[in-house]
Structures are given as C-alpha cells and as structure tokens.
C-alpha cells in the first residue's frame, strides 16, 4: 500500500486538490492507509458455467494459517440477495443452488495476507452436478429462456405498409460485448465502528445501493452503514450495480471478524467475474421509397444478458427508445428479447443500450442507400426528425431543440464531405489492395433515468466564517471532471473564486438516498441541487449584505468574491459577509434539492416521456484500409457535438475524445471470446486489445455546436459523458464503405481480411 501523510503543506494541498489526476496524487482504494489488523478478502468462485452445488465443506480452509473467516451463504444474517432490479442474484451461491456462470462466487475468505487466503481456497471441498450451459442467444431463443418478458414498441401499421412499400430490404447484425477496463478494479474497504455499524470506502458509482445491500445482508438499518466514495479509477457503468459485490463481501467478513477487511479483485478475476456491454444479434426488414424515405421498419433483437438480470431490463428499455436514432419512422415494430446465458451478468456500460440501437438503425440507413445507389448522407438527410412536423418519436415524445439538419449541414461543410467522396472514389480506382472509406453518423441521445424516482438529487453547502466553502453533492468522481464542474457551478452562483471552494468526498451520511452517477446525469442533478442550495443561501444572506452596505433594498449581485449592489455602487467582500453573518447568529449552511418530474412511460404501450431532453450532434470518419493485412488508419475524424452552453469546455472536449476512443474499441478491436465450457479466454491485455495511442485519428477535429442552449437544464448545459461514444460507429461504417461489404461488431483485423467473396 502507498502511504500518504494525513497532513500536507497548504501549497501541496492546493496542488493535490486542483491537479491530483495529472500529478499522480489521486488516492484510490489501493493507495489508502489501512488500519492496523486489516485483513484481505478473497472470493472463491464456481469452476463451472452451469452446475448444481451438491455439497460444500470449508472446515479445512477455516483452520488454514492466517485465515480468520470463511463465509458461505448460510452465514449471511439477512436475505441472501444483492439484485438491483429483479431478485435473481444471490450474494453467495447456497448449497443446492445452481451456479449461473463460471466465476459465480460460492464463499469468501478473510486472511492476514492474500497469499494465505488463496492457499485456504485450495482446501475447500465441494461436489457439483455439472449441467449443460447455454452460451449463445440462439440457444436461449430456441429454449425461450428469457430473464423477463420481451419488450415491444409498435407504432402505426408496419405490416401493411411494409407489404406495399416500393422497396424492401432485409438485414442482420451481430455485435459483441466490451470489457470496461477501468484501471482501478472493483474494490471496497469495510471498517467496523466502535459504536456499531460499518464505515465502507467503496469504488462505486452508486453509494446508496452499496449501503442498501450491505445493511440488508447484515440485518442492519441503512443508517448503520456509511459508504464513502473518493475518486474512482474509472467506472464506465461497470461500477453502477456490480460495485456492490466487494462492498457486500467485505462488509460480511468485517462484521464476522470484527476487523477491517480490504477486498480488491485482481485484474484477471475482475475480467472473469464482472459483466460487460451487452452483445446482441438482430434481424430487421425495412420498407422505403425511391428517395430513401423509411416507410416501415421491423426489428427483432436478442440481447445476451448473462445469467441474471442485473440492470438488463433497463438497458433494453433504453435501447428500444433509441432504435429510431435520428430518424422519423412512421411505422415501426421492435421486439427485444432479454436472453439468459451462462455467462457473467452483463451490466451498465457507457451508452447503456444506445450504441447497440444506433448501430442497427445506421446499418438500415446504409443498406437503403446502397440499394438505391445513393450516398448514405443523402438518405440520412431525407429521414431526419423535423422541427414542426415528423417530430414525435415512436414512444410519442416530442423532439425539441432539434439541430440534426443544422449539424448535418455544418459537418458536411467542415469535412467537405462530398468533395472528399469524389477524391476517395478516384483513389479507390487506382488502388487494388488499399481502399479508403467515408461515413457519417448523426446522434440523438436521450438524457434521464427512465425510472422517475431516480431523477432526484440532494446537496449541502457549508460556508465557513473565513469565507471558504465546502460542498457536498451526490455524484461520484470517476475521472469525468464532475467535482471540477461542481466547483464551477458554485463559483458562478456565489461569486467565490474556485480556490476557496472544496468538494468533499461523497458520503451517504451527508447526502442520503443518492442516485447512481450514471445516465450522463451527474452535472444535471448535482449542479441543480447545488444551485438550489446557493439560491437559498443568497435569499437569506442578501438582507444582511444590504444592511452591511447601509442600504434597505437593492438588487444584490454575487461576483468576484464580492456581494454588491449595482444601483448604489456599494459592495461587501464575501469573506466579510460570511464572518458578519456568523457573528450575528445566521446559519451559513444550506441543503439543496432537485427533482425532475413528469419523466416516465407506460410499460404496456411503451409510450410516454422517458427523457428530459435529447443531446444531438454529428460525425464523419475518413479511413484507409489495407485489404491484405486488415490494418486501417483513421485519416480524419470530424465530430460536431451540442453541449448547449458547456460548464467547462476543456472537460467536455476530454469527454468527447474519451467516449469516441472507447466506442472505437467496441466497434473495431475489443473481442470477447468464451470457450465451450463457458470460460472467458480474453481475460487480460495479453489477449484482449483496447485502443491505444496508435489508434488515434491522424487528424482529429472536434467542435461544439453553438447557439442552442438547453432551457431545461442547469446553466443551459447538456450532458456529455455517454452520447459521443456513438460517433465511433462512423469509423465502423467507413470500414464497411472501404471494404464494400457489411461487417460485424467488432470489425477486427481478422474480419477485415476475410475474403471479399465466396466461391459457390
């Protein structure tokens, strides 16, 4: 463990606070100073993808040197469950139960060292009845083995319209999953408190769910468990639901041993145990006219959800509401299946079902264009949502602040799309083994949790007598710059320089009932709650400030560390206002709250308002592909993205870069391989390729779409974390354009060098 002093000079503290990531001083759970006597936790998991546990004997493991506890399902005081949505996920597999995947945890060990914990695990004796696993969605579909009832969204009369359409085209697509590969693996540190209960430090996006399940498993009240979250070493959705696992296991072991327990998954174990982005297989049929207008669309989509639900039903809801993409589809029938397979339960991943949806509709658009001999950009233009008409989605939500055509025009001009198309055609005529390709992908991404009760946030602001400010908000910082954005929001509202504003670690004891930092809502929710707290503080302190200026009334403005009245020209320093308010017995602490109402949809009709607003933009990719080696280069990448009025342009640019690169990995290189026994073969960077510096576009052009503020949101900004990931699909389509054939996801080098045609 790395030991960092509890106190540090003020200059170093400011650097730590301001640039910890860049200076390498951010403290993750493996960097924490540990209490004396801390034990190491280890998870013992099933060696089979599907098998019934007939017998389990841990007696020898319990007497192994250094071991202080070995816990099984029967040792759990409360309900043996940690399922976030549907109750189908036990914390530990009980005797008589059937494991759902190779890696499901059967028991947990606490020992003085990790080495001793692993040695003890080899002494566990068990007996299994091995069963045949289901490892594909095809088999799941054949057996009709679904985790929940299929989802259906239907608009109009697609059967009749399809039958009478001038043109019809069928297609299919196979897409794989994706490993989150956060650089801090799943981790938690549970410490028993002398007054009872637990303090848990967790690497999680969802502190309240961690608290909820730790308390439930132990038979405690939620108030008996405090979950604290510092900076996460990445999350990407993988720490939304599944970060509960190390929290639950460390809490159980800490309560049993009465000692602190550190539980960190090793990288290969994290790979094998945790869920991924959902793979899928889809078949579709589209009816369209001679100009390329979509008249009807039918989609049948099978998602590989893994062995239990996790958050899959929410992922499929998000997907089905985005199958329209950026396009108005008058008649549509979409049917989505949540298939059970004997693999890890697939989970939240940046985009949460939207990248899968966009890949389908953009494939449809591309195939329409090829059928008609038109450029796909022209077909996209024909089908975009309109401003005054053709502006209702299949779920009957109004598409507001629509910039799709404006963004299309801008990016066509910025990339010289049609001029570039001519140059590419000329290049391809001259070259046999090296081809270039071009593709455009627009974006329309809904922001909010579909479940209405998640759309809330609390916050707390403390002003101290010296004029410094401490803010508590419900969001977690995982490298996306949320803490910095929250300091900026409070700086704008109170007029205090950011060097006087500190963001506290997230704690369920300070901000209760937090919603997961997910769905790209962190800035929206936390910022709005903090603004509410600032508004309440200013309302209470404005009369005091006026009195200090010798005024009875006037419009008070908070800027530049001053509180001043513009009409009179008088002002009082913020620092003096804080001290005077304290001396006159005025509270300098205030809580804030934010809620989004009227979000939700009817589960039967799949209609309603699932989102607060849409984020839009467009992208163009220009690639060069060597048909003999399968290697490609991104020659140019253009992204035009609408952030409304960005809270921090630098952070938002970083998020666009990062989201695109992560999407590029999913689309072109990150391939998960599971063998016939259900074991994940790609469980390290030795055999699983993620994007690196050499995959960066040679020319990367990113711009913000200007002049379209979001009136429904804090400071007129729009969410940024997830939406730009879908722009990577333009690279995937550009590779198809270069190759002249359709491609699966990921379009790996192996796929790209397959023969372009097969002999009959």
Reported as type and span, the H/E element at residue 381 is helix 376-383
Q: Within its chain, how far is the Cα of 490 from the centroid?
A: 25
Give the C-alpha separation, 299 to 626, whole Å. Answer: 33
DSSP state of 262: E
Residue identified by tokens 């990790």 is 114
Residue identified by tokens 């620092």 is 575
Instruction: Evaluate whether 225 touches 200 at the Cβ level (below 8 Å).
Output: yes
Q: Residue 303 is encoded by which pair of tokens?
A: 């998602």
Q: Within its chain, how far is the Cα of 163 from the centroid?
A: 40
- Classify burial at 602, counting beta carbons within 10 Å of its beta carbon; exposed 0-12, middle 13-18, buried 19 or more: exposed
Across the beta sheet with 556-559, the strand order is 556-559, 562-565, 570-573
Question: What is the phi-psi region of residue 516: left when phi exceeds 0, alpha when psi lies from -120 to 50, beta otherwise?
Answer: beta
Q: Residue 42 is encoded by which pair of tokens?
A: 């280890």
Identified catalytic residue from 722, 750, 751, 760: 722
Give the C-alpha separation, 173 to 283, whole Å. Answer: 7
Question: What is the phi-psi region of residue 627: left when phi exceeds 0, alpha when psi lies from -120 to 50, beta otherwise?
Answer: alpha
Reported as type and span, the H/E element at residue 620 is strand 613-626
Quick one: which of 679, 513, 652 has its CA closest to 133? Answer: 679
Residue 374, CA distances (Å) to 370, 407, 457, 756 in order: 6, 20, 48, 22
- Residue 567 bears catalytic tag: no
Residue identified by tokens 């200076």 is 23
Give the C-alpha separation, 629 to 169, whole Å. Answer: 32
DSSP state of 457: E
Q: What's the residue count for the chain?
A: 760
Name the 3-class secondary structure at 695. Answer: helix
Give the C-alpha separation, 342 to 47, whole Å. Answer: 12
Dmax (CA) of the chain: 94
- Classify burial at 583, counting beta carbons within 10 Å of its beta carbon; exposed 0-12, middle 13-18, buried 19 or more: exposed
- Classify burial at 453, counting beta carbons within 10 Å of its beta carbon; exposed 0-12, middle 13-18, buried 19 or more: exposed
Residue 5, CA distances (Å) to 12, 17, 28, 409, 752 in order: 12, 15, 15, 55, 52
Task: State the catalytic residues.
Answer: 722
């Amino acid at each position: 463990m790395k030991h960092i002093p509890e106190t540090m000079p003020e200059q170093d503290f400011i650097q730590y606070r301001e640039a910890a990531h860049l200076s390498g001083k951010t403290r993750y759970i493996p960097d924490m100073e540990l209490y004396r006597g801390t034990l190491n936790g280890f998870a013992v998991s099933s060696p089979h993808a599907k098998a019934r546990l007939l017998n389990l004997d841990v007696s020898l493991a319990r007497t192994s040197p250094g071991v202080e506890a070995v816990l099984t399902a029967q040792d759990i005081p409360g309900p043996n469950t940690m399922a976030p949505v549907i109750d189908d996920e036990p914390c530990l597999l009980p005797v008589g139960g059937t494991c759902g995947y190779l890696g499901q945890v059967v028991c947990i060990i606490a020992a003085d060292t990790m080495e001793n914990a692993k040695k003890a695990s080899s002494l566990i004796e068990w007996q299994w009845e091995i069963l045949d696993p289901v490892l594909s969605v095809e088999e799941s579909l054949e057996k009709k083995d679904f985790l929940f009832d299929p989802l259906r969204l239907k608009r109009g009369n697609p059967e009749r319209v399809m039958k009478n359409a001038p043109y019809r085209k069928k297609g299919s697509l196979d897409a794989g999953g994706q490993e989150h590969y956060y650089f801090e693996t799943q981790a938690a540190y549970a410490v028993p408190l002398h007054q009872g209960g637990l303090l848990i430090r967790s690497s999680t996006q969802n502190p309240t769910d961690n608290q909820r399940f730790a308390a439930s498993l132990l038979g405690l009240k939620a108030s008996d468990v405090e979950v604290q979250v510092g900076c996460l070493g990445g999350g990407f959705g993988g720490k939304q639901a599944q970060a509960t696992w190390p929290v639950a296991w460390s809490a159980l072991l800490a309560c049993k041993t009465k000692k602190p327990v550190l539980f960190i998954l090793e990288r290969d174990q994290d790979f094998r145990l945790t869920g991924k982005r959902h793979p899928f297989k889809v078949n579709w049929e589209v009816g369209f006219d001679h100009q390329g207008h979509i008249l009807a669309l039918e989609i049948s989509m099978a998602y590989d959800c893994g062995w239990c639900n996790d958050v899959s039903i929410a992922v499929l809801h998000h997907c089905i509401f985005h199958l329209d993409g950026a396009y108005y589809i008058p008649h549509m029938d979409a049917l989505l299946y949540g298939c059970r397979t004997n693999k890890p339960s697939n989970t939240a991943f940046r985009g949460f079902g939207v990248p899968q949806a966009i890949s389908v509709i953009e494939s449809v658009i591309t195939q329409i264009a090829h059928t008609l001999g038109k450029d796909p950009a022209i077909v996209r233009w024909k089908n975009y949502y309109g401003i005054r008409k053709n502006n209702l989605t299949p779920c009957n939500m109004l598409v507001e602040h629509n910039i799709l055509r404006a963004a299309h025009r801008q990016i066509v001009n910025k990339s010289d799309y049609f001029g570039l198309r001519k140059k590419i055609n000329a290049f391809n005529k001259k070259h046999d083994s090296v081809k270039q390709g071009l593709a455009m992908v627009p974006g329309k991404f809904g922001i909010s949790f579909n479940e209405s009760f998640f759309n809330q946030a609390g916050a707390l602001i403390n002003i101290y007598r010296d004029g410094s400010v401490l803010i508590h908000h419900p969001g977690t910082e995982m490298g996306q710059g949320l803490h910095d954005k929250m300091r900026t929001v409070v700086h704008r509202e109170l007029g205090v320089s950011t060097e006087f504003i500190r963001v506290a670690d997230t704690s369920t004891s300070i901000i209760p009932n937090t919603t997961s930092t997910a769905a790209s809502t962190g800035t929206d929710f936390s910022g709005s709650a903090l603004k509410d707290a600032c508004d309440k503080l200013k309302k209470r302190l404005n009369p005091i400030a006026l009195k200090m200026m010798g005024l009875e009334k006037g419009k008070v403005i908070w800027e530049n560390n001053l509180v001043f009245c513009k009409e009179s020209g008088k002002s009082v320093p913020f620092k003096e206002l804080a001290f005077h308010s304290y001396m006159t017995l005025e509270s300098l602490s205030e809580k804030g709250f934010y809620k989004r109402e009227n979000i939700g949809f009817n589960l039967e009709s799949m209609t309603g308002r699932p989102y607060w607003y849409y984020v839009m933009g467009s992208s163009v990719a220009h690639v060069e592909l060597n048909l003999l080696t399968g290697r490609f280069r991104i020659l140019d990448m253009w992204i035009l993205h609408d952030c409304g009025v960005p809270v921090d342009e630098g952070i938002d640019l970083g998020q666009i870069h990062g989201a695109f690169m992560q999407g590029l990995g999913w689309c072109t290189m990150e391939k998960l391989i599971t063998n016939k026994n259900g074991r994940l073969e790609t469980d390290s960077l030795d055999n699983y390729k993620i994007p690196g510096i050499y995959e960066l576009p040679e020319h990367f052009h990113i711009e913000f779409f200007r002049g379209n503020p979001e009136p429904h949101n804090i400071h007129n900004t729009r969410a940024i974390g997830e939406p730009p990931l879908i722009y990577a699909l333009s690279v995937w389509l550009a590779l198809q354009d270069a190759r002249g054939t359709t491609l699966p996801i990921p379009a790996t080098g192996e796929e790209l060098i397959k023969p372009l045609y097969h002999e009959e």
